[in-house]
Amino acid sequence: MFEKHRPQLFQIANEPLTPAGHLAAHEYIYPPEVMRLVQKPGAEIARAKQINPDLQSEAATIYDLIETSSEEMFRLDCAARSGNQDTAGWRMARDQERIKKIFIINLSKHGTYIDPWKNDAYANFPWAAWMDRVGADQAALLACQLALQRTRQVDQAFSTTRFINTRTLLLAAKHTPEEMHDMIRRSRIHLIYSGKKNEYEPIKRALHNQRALIPHETVTIRHNKRNFNTYNQLEDLAQYFTQPKVRRQLTDAMIIFVLYAPQAVRAMRMYAHLKNSFPQVPVAVAPLPTSNNAIPEYPMNEVRGIVYYFLANQTVSYPPPYHILPLPQWQIV
């Protein structure tokens, strides 16, 4: 199926991505719209020339980009469904002797923490509802899980509940929020949320709720007044890591991105484009699975985005090596 398949691309950080049986590759990555894009990428080229007037690209290069990014997207989505916590990425992240500091980065997604949709291109897609809230909850759950493991606590199960008009993470176990706060601080876990004002304000309100499990001082909100697309967010994060106070914490650090699998494939190629601006530390992706009713539409949209940003010289053909932290199958209600 993949005539130009590059096996080494999907042996990410020595962790093979094994397909899950219930995801069909041909349905996931080769819908008719993507095939038309392969054959006639004119619209994306025209858009890209607005940013990169000197654009020169061969159709074969675009075909190769679509093929490799599509397969990586599919395999990463399969990994997201596995819930496997025995990867090299998980072993590294839970080892507090080896990794002294963890930065968990959550880029804004569709909707907000308190609204299923916002006024953007995805407002008419039912499957895009609450993606930002799920991403924030999963990033917080990942922080709690790692804190328990890094402080040698017995693994616990988590659940979420609704509190007033926000989602506040509660622990379905013996630990109080105060105890969880202490473990997160001792584990040296720091969360970063990047988004616009209408996206980060609900997050800030939830963090200051007395029942929230994440101590608000361990969360950094990043925003600016620019057109905040993913590339802008990553540029801003690169600037964040140059701050003297942050730079002093980068020895034996690790960066973990919490992203939907299709979003991750695009974001990691952008990260590779900006790699020299980021600290040279291990990088991992904690992939969120794409809902079945978003397939193939959402992966297809991200493939088109990868082509556009590649032509606009804001991404590269292949991602950097990164580890994978498949998240446990927590029940988000």
Q: Residue 11 falls within a domain, yes or no?
A: no
More confident residue, 117 or 193: 193
Is residue 72 over pLDDT 60? yes
Across the chain, mean pLDDT equals 80
Whole-angstrom Cα distance, residue 285 to residue 259?
Answer: 7
Query: How wide is the angle at C-alpha 22 spanned by C-alphas 263 and 34, nearest 5°?
Result: 45
Query: pLDDT confidence of 53, banded at 50, 70, 90?
Result: low
More confident residue, 21 or 324: 324
Angle between helices 131-150 and 177-186 (to 10 degrees): 70
Q: Residue 174 falls within a domain, yes or no?
A: yes
Are the C-beta atoms of 38 and 63 separated by less than 8 Å?
yes
Radius of gyration of the chain (CA): 19
Domain that includes residue 171, residue range: 85-291
Question: In the numeric block, which tokens belong to residue 203?
Answer: 């997050």
Is residue 29 over pLDDT 80? no
Stretch 144-149: mean pLDDT: 90
Whole-angstrom Cα distance, residue 282 to residue 98?
Answer: 11
DSSP, residue by residue, 65-105 = HHHHHHHHHHHHHHHHHH----SHHHHHHH-TTT--EEEEE
Q: Residue 45 falls within a domain, yes or no?
A: no
Share of the chain above pLDDT 70, in %: 72
18 φ, ψ (degrees, to nearest 5):
-90, 125
Q: Residue 315 falls within a domain, yes or no?
A: no
Q: Residue 217 falls within a domain, yes or no?
A: yes
Q: Which of 62, 48, 67 is nearest to 5 (CA)?
A: 67
The strand pairing partners of 101, in sequence order, are: 253
SS3 307: helix
Q: Residue 163 falls within a domain, yes or no?
A: yes
Question: In the numeric block, which tokens belong to residue 259?
Answer: 């992203």
Stretch 22-51: mean pLDDT: 63
Q: How far is CA 82 from CA 41, 79, 95, 303, 321, in A?
A: 34, 5, 22, 23, 20
Count of domains forming the chain: 1
Tens of pLDDT along 275-327? 899 999 999 999 999 988 888 889 888 988 898 888 888 898 888 899 999 98
Query: pLDDT confidence of 25, banded at 50, 70, 90?
Result: low
Which sign, positive or negative, has the C-alpha torsion 90, 330, 130, 211? Answer: negative
Q: Which of 173, 204, 135, 72 is nearest to 143 (CA)?
A: 135
Please tell me the least confidently modeled range out of 7-21, 107-121, 167-181, 271-285. Answer: 7-21
Q: Residue 284 falls within a domain, yes or no?
A: yes
Is residue 201 over pLDDT 50? yes
Are the C-beta atoms of 253 and 103 separated by less than 8 Å?
yes
Q: Residue 7 falls within a domain, yes or no?
A: no
Tens of pLDDT along 152-162? 875 554 544 43
